[in-house]
Amino acid sequence: MLLHTVCVALSLTRLSAAASSFAGSTSTFQFPPANVTVTASDTFFPDAEQVGFAGPTPTGDEAAAIVTAPSVAKVEQAFPLVRPDTLDNQGTSFNVIDNWGNLSPFKSVASFGLPNASAAIPAGYTLTQVHLIHRHGARYPTSGAGPATFAAEIHAAATGPSFNATGPLEFMNTWTYKLGAEILTPFGREQLFNLGVGFRVKYGELLKGFDDLPVWRTTSEDRMVDSALHFAAGFFGVRRYTTDYHQLIEIEADGFNSTLAPYEVCPNANNNISSFGTVQATKWIAQYLVPAQKRLSPFIDGFNLTTMDVFNMQTLCAYETVSLGFSAFCDLFTEDEWKGFEYALDLQFWYGFGPGNPAVSAQGRGWVEELVSRLTQQRITSFGSSVNETIVSSDTTFPLNQPIFVDASHDIVITAIITAMNFTSLAANGPLPTDHIPENQTYIVNQLAPFASNLVGQVLSNDGSSNGTHIRWILNDGVVPLTGINGCTEDPNGLCDLPTFIAGMQQRIQEIDFDFDCFANFTIPDPDTITDGQFPQ
């Protein structure tokens, strides 16, 4: 969500105009045209119910592919985005799109250390409940982020007497900034619709266990509501989603409690504590992009190209691709430079929104409390985190007996939750160094929190056995080991006995000091001492 805050203000001062002075200018378009709307009195275009003649409409049975299929279909492409190439085009299987950190589109992860595990339900088990928290789809940059700043500086330079771009940068003479801010892109809408369709195909059978309409949650931000509605349209169908479930919208604003936007009630999520990720990532940016900065600088006159400018150009590649389908910035960089870009975002998340930041587990704690409430069907009675007491105290707004739970949130909330839940296998090789990419890296943000990221908890009963009920977690189609949770032992399918898992989560809730980690005035301790998202005890 906030990753592009790495793109700090740039010191670009020299101006030019050898090329078109509109280089870098912002261009926008809004549809429908002004003053043109569809109204209820538009008698020339009646809806389907008014027209009639629908033909036969029998429904089939619900799908349960996650149970019936021997394996699960993988998300491997990002249609209709044009796959970028690299400058050095080594003819390998390297995919630039997979190296954009939290700006990458969701793609199925092969494994998080359990190579033989599948998201399909293991033999001998019956699926009884599913818990989903997903990120919104691809969006434009947030307001005032690096890409817009870079475009403004280019535009200012282009009005001067000496600006000119040549060679691989010649396109910048006429390049305009076409990105909006904050809201979903068309591709982002497609992602969430497809996620909803896929979830219905996998888990639709669980609808038979509902006694009332589902209550699913999102926050009030435009892209969040849009994502939740597109997911529901994919899951229920575009003509039925408005009547087949209840959409609970929690306010996302400063001072309002919401476990789907916990940073709004955690001051240390909005100050120099949270910006530590930017500090660490900037060290790496200043190193890995020096060759690119030296290579590209001779092709642009009237503009002092810095390593941060070059990072903004890489960021523009990602944003333009998920917004416009293609970007001319992409093939300016080598395979190693794209790996460096991913690592910069890994650093930002590790130290800003992940295990290396002392205020992160506190932000994930509230959702874990809600999870335990749902799993035990016991209401929360003690409130000392981001949990909204009004919402969770009501059967209407927070039912406990649903077979399917769906929450829509942000990338940094998902990384906070998996940190709070102590998925230690994902952080096995941290803390991350700022001067090189480590071997066998386990904390890779494009696998953890891409656009449309999804974390699924499967509750399973063991058929004909006294072993009882189990739970396991699937992150972007990869099964996550639960050995970091007290009592959960190694299991080839990532399973943990449900009472043991619940006890482990209750222990984690007690271990996380929300008040101190979110409100205390402290400085960042030695980065090597933090691997669980908490201030060292």
Structural domain includes residue 415: yes
Give the tens place of pLDDT for each residue, 197-239. 999 999 999 999 999 999 999 999 999 999 999 999 999 999 8
Asked whether the beta carbons of 206 and 403 are under 8 A apart, the reply is yes
Structural domain includes residue 31: no
Q: How far apart are CA 131 and CA 147, in angstroms?
A: 35
Position 268: which residue type? Answer: N
Q: Is 298 helix (H, G, I), strand (E, B) or coil?
A: helix
Structural domain includes residue 36: no
Structural domain includes residue 259: yes
Structural domain includes residue 454: yes
Q: Minimum mean pLDDT among 131-135, 159-163, 208-212, 224-228: which range?
A: 159-163
Q: Number of C-alpha atoms within 13 angstroms, CB side, residue 278?
A: 18
Domain carrying residue 396: 72-529
The CATH number of the domain holding residue 271 is 3.40.50.1240
Query: Residue 170: is its pLDDT beyond 50?
Result: yes
pLDDT bracket for residue 15 (50, 70, 90): very low
Q: Number of C-alpha atoms within 13 angstroms, CB side, residue 442?
A: 17
Which pLDDT belongs to residue 86?
92
Q: How far apart are CA 31 and CA 265, in angstroms?
A: 36
| DSSP secondary structure, 1-38, as one string | --GGGGS--------B-SS-TTTT-B----SSPTT---
Q: Number of structural domains, the chain?
A: 1
Site of tokens 């209550």: 215
For the beta carbon of residue 145, count every other beta carbon within 10 angstroms: 22
From residue 104, how far is each of 83, 256, 323, 438, 520 by CA, in Å?
Answer: 12, 30, 12, 21, 34
Structural domain includes residue 441: yes
Structural domain includes residue 1: no
pLDDT bracket for residue 36 (50, 70, 90): confident
Which pLDDT belongs to residue 397?
98
Q: Which is more confidently placed, 23 or 413?
A: 413
Which pLDDT belongs to residue 358?
98
Give the tens place of pLDDT for each residue, 467-520. 679 999 999 999 999 999 999 999 999 999 999 999 999 999 999 999 999 999
pLDDT bracket for residue 45 (50, 70, 90): confident
pLDDT bracket for residue 9 (50, 70, 90): very low
Q: What is the mean pLDDT of residues 12-24?
A: 49
Give the tens place of pLDDT for each residue, 423-440. 999 999 989 999 999 999
Which pLDDT belongs to residue 293?
98
Q: Is 481 exposed, middle or buried (0-12, 13-18, 19+ CB in 10 A)?
A: buried
Give the tens place of pLDDT for each residue, 290-338. 999 999 999 999 999 999 999 999 999 999 999 999 999 999 999 999 9
pLDDT bracket for residue 22 (50, 70, 90): confident
Q: Minimum mean pLDDT among 80-94, 194-208, 375-389, 505-519: which range?
A: 80-94
Structural domain includes residue 380: yes
pLDDT bracket for residue 465 (50, 70, 90): low
